[in-house]
């Protein structure tokens, strides 16, 4: 195995050597559940789902921990605006995120811890930091607890910043509580009307950075393999996570992988822009599997600038692949995925998860497969279809997998198949008696009902019209 990834911390591609042979532990910063997800949020889920599937294909037992931030200023503000409890907002949006991940075929994480369920672990981590001289409670008794940036010489190493050029952390009600403006809040003292938990330093609630350090090491151990997240999290969130955990004596993440952002018209997704790209709306434009293809096709570290045209192109590209698999099965019968993916495909994914190059290999096989379909050779068709299915499975895009084939496999599909067969027999009969007007009328009626008929050398075939 020669897996390698671009490590943000090292600023270069590094060979991947897991801490424990045969295993890979992966922590992914999940959602702050103040609103339902747009596709920018879910891109990270899709990118890291492919990473997880590839590590699994390479024989590693993957433990994926993806957190949910269920307490935060933004959640409290939304709840206040609606006049409902903070946990009602968090529950509702967590369900929306789960539904979106499921819709896009992301495998569920091994564990999905919520911040508010891990207050004891956070208190313990603060205790360790205070005992080691890396954190302090605010002197005014507000209940705030801060990380002492000056006590940790490596601060800034992950985001490649010099500590003396850093801006202050804007996370306090009163800067006088801090020894240094760059110090960041581990814990936020209770404010009237807000949820709070008891600690030895007063009542308050978790800071965002602290929860990820506490939850990742609880589930993955003091040191783990890969920490993932969006590129916008490198600073301050991940810089603060690594400072907290290393200062407390944990080895923490060995590799840092960051996915690029999804922009619109070159701008970072704002809430108003994002509202037009919510998942339920997107899967009315294209099928979920096509949306997954769209989000997966670019390299995970590149920027995706959203456009309807690019989405439509991605859907068409996926349909070419799907069309080959469908026709191959019609010609040769059931085809199981090959046990191994082709070497160039594997080499592309081994090299910092090069999905775009891997897809080029996939499309090459589809072209060969289509040639085989016109030139006969059932064995060759079956071989190529098996390889294509194996590659698609690794990307979570196999149209015949349980995730995506449910609709096609339902009883309803068989009923439609029988009805269309009756109509096509009548069309053939009309053609046989040279009544082309009647034959065309049948085809048009089928089209109006959403069934596209295509005449092939092997006879007519049909599929449901898309979009």
Binding-site positions for Zn(2+) read 29, 212, 237, 241
What is the DSSP secondary structure assignment for residue 401, as one 8-state letter? S
As given in the structure block, the two tokens for residue 373 are 């379909």
List the one residue out of 121, 131, 167, 170 whose CA is nearest residue 151.
131
Residues in binding site: 29, 212, 237, 241, 271
The distance of Cα 62 from the centroid of its chain, to the nearest Å, equals 16
**Helix, coil or strand: residue 303:** coil
Of the pair 215, 424, the CB lying nearest Zn ion is at 215
Per CB under 5 A, the segment of 23-31, 139-147, 149-157, 371-379 that binds Zn ion is 23-31
- Minimum CB separation of residue 162 from Zn ion in Å reads 24
Of the pair 29, 234, the CB lying nearest Zn ion is at 29
In terms of residues, how long is the chain? 467
Of the pair 29, 257, the CB lying nearest Zn ion is at 29
Size of residue set near Zn ion by CB under 5 A = 2
Which residue has tokens 């990270």?
44
- Minimum CB separation of residue 29 from Zn ion in Å reads 3
What is the rounded CA–CA span in Å between residue 325 and residue 387?
10
Q: What sign has the CA pseudo-torsion 412, 418, 424, 430?
A: negative
- Cβ neighbours, 10 Å, residue 371: 13
List the one residue out of 401, 403, 395, 398 whose CA is nearest residue 298.
395
Per CB under 5 A, the segment of 27-35, 92-100, 246-254, 421-429 that binds Zn ion is 27-35
What is the rounded CA–CA span in Å between residue 239 and residue 401?
39
- Minimum CB separation of residue 212 from Zn ion in Å reads 3
User: Quick check: 115 binds Zn ion (CB under 5 A)?
Assistant: no
- Minimum CB separation of residue 237 from Zn ion in Å reads 6
User: Quick check: 166 binds Zn ion (CB under 5 A)?
Assistant: no
Per CB under 5 A, the segment of 22-30, 45-53, 105-113, 317-325 that binds Zn ion is 22-30
List the one residue out of 231, 291, 304 whose CA is nearest residue 262.
304
What is the rounded CA–CA span in Å between residue 277 and residue 39?
6
Of the pair 239, 322, the CB lying nearest Zn ion is at 239
SS3 string, 9-71, reads: CCCEEEECCCCCCCEEEEEECCCECCCCCEHHHHHHHHHHHHHHHHHHHCCCEEEEEECEECC
Residues in binding site for ATP: 271
As given in the structure block, the two tokens for residue 383 are 């071989």
- Minimum CB separation of residue 241 from Zn ion in Å reads 6
Of the pair 39, 212, the CB lying nearest Zn ion is at 212
- Minimum CB separation of residue 235 from Zn ion in Å reads 12
- Minimum CB separation of residue 9 from Zn ion in Å reads 15
Pairing label, strands 4-7, 12-15: antiparallel
- Minimum CB separation of residue 208 from Zn ion in Å reads 7
Of the pair 29, 243, the CB lying nearest Zn ion is at 29
Strand partners, 28: 66, 228
Of the pair 207, 396, the CB lying nearest Zn ion is at 207
Binders of Zn ion in range 302-361 (CB under 5 A): none
- Of 24, 29, 51, 78, the residue at the interface with Zn ion (CB under 5 A) is 29
Of the pair 29, 277, the CB lying nearest Zn ion is at 29
As given in the structure block, the two tokens for residue 303 are 């920027």
Of the pair 29, 248, the CB lying nearest Zn ion is at 29
- Minimum CB separation of residue 256 from Zn ion in Å reads 12
User: Quick check: 212 binds Zn ion (CB under 5 A)?
Assistant: yes
- Minimum CB separation of residue 111 from Zn ion in Å reads 15
List the one residue out of 85, 84, 91 whose CA is nearest residue 70.
91
Of the pair 40, 342, the CB lying nearest Zn ion is at 40
As given in the structure block, the two tokens for residue 322 are 């799907």
Per CB under 5 A, the segment of 115-123, 159-167, 185-193, 208-216 that binds Zn ion is 208-216
What is the rounded CA–CA span in Å between residue 263 and residue 215?
30
Binders of Zn ion in range 364-393 (CB under 5 A): none
Q: Which helix (H) or strand (E) holds 252?
A: strand 252-259
Per CB under 5 A, the segment of 28-36, 127-135, 267-275, 365-373 that binds Zn ion is 28-36
What is the rounded CA–CA span in Å between residue 443 and residue 427?
8
Q: Are 457 and 375 in contact (CB under 8 A)?
A: no
- 168-207 mask for Zn ion (x: CB under 5 A)? ----------------------------------------
The CA distances from residue 187 to 29, 125, 142, 172, 211, in Å, are 19, 11, 10, 10, 10
Binding site for Zn ion (CB under 5 A): 29, 212
């Amino acid at each position: 195995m020669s897996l390698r990834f671009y490590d943000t911390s090292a600023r270069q591609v590094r060979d991947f050597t897991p801490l424990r042979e045969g295993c890979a532990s992966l922590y992914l910063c999940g959602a702050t559940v103040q609103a339902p997800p747009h596709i920018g949020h879910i891109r990270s889920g899709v990118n890291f789902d492919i990473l997880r599937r590839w590590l699994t294909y390479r024989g590693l037992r993957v433990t994926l921990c993806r957190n949910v931030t269920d307490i935060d200023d933004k959640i409290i503000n939304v709840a206040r605006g609606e006049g409902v409890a903070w946990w009602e907002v968090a529950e509702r949006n967590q369900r929306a995120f789960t539904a979106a991940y499921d819709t896009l075929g992301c495998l569920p994480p091994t564990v999905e811890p919520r911040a508010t369920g891990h207050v004891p672990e956070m208190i313990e981590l603060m205790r360790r930091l205070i005992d080691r001289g890396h954190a302090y409670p605010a002197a005014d008794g507000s209940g705030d607890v801060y990380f002492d940036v000056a006590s940790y010489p490596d601060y800034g190493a992950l985001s490649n910043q010099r500590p003396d050029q850093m801006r202050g952390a804007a996370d306090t009600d009163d800067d006088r509580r801090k020894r240094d403006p760059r110090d960041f809040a581990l814990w936020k003292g209770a404010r009237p009307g807000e949820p709070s938990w008891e600690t030895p330093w007063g009542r308050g609630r978790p800071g965002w950075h602290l929860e990820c350090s506490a939850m990742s090491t609880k589930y993955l151990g003091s040191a783990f393999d890969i920490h993932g997240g969006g590129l916008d999290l490198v600073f301050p969130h991940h810089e603060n996570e690594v400072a907290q955990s290393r200062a407390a004596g944990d080895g923490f993440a060995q590799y840092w992988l960051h996915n690029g952002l999804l922009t619109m018209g070159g701008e970072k997704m704002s809430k108003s822009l994002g509202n037009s790209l919510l998942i339920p709306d997107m899967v009315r434009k294209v099928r979920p599997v096509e949306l997954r293809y769209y989000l997966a096709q670019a390299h995970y570290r590149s920027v995706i600038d959203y456009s309807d045209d690019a989405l439509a192109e991605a859907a068409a590209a996926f349909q070419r692949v799907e069309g080959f698999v469908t026709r191959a099965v019609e010609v040769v019968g059931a085809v199981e995925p090959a046990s191994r993916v082709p070497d160039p495909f594997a080499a592309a994914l081994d090299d910092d998860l090069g999905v775009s190059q891997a897809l080029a290999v996939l499309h090459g096989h589809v072209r060969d497969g289509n040639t085989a379909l016109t030139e006969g050779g059932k064995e060759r068709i079956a071989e190529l279809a098996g390889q294509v299915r194996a590659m698609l499975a690794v990307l979570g895009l196999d149209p015949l997998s349980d995730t995506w084939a449910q609709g096609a496999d339902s009883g309803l599909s068989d009923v439609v198949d029988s009805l269309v067969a009756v109509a096509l027999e009548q069309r053939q009969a009309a053609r046989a008696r040279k009544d082309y007007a009647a034959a065309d009328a049948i085809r048009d009626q089928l089209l109006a009902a959403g069934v596209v008929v295509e005449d092939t050398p092997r006879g007519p075939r049909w599929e449901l019209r898309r979009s």
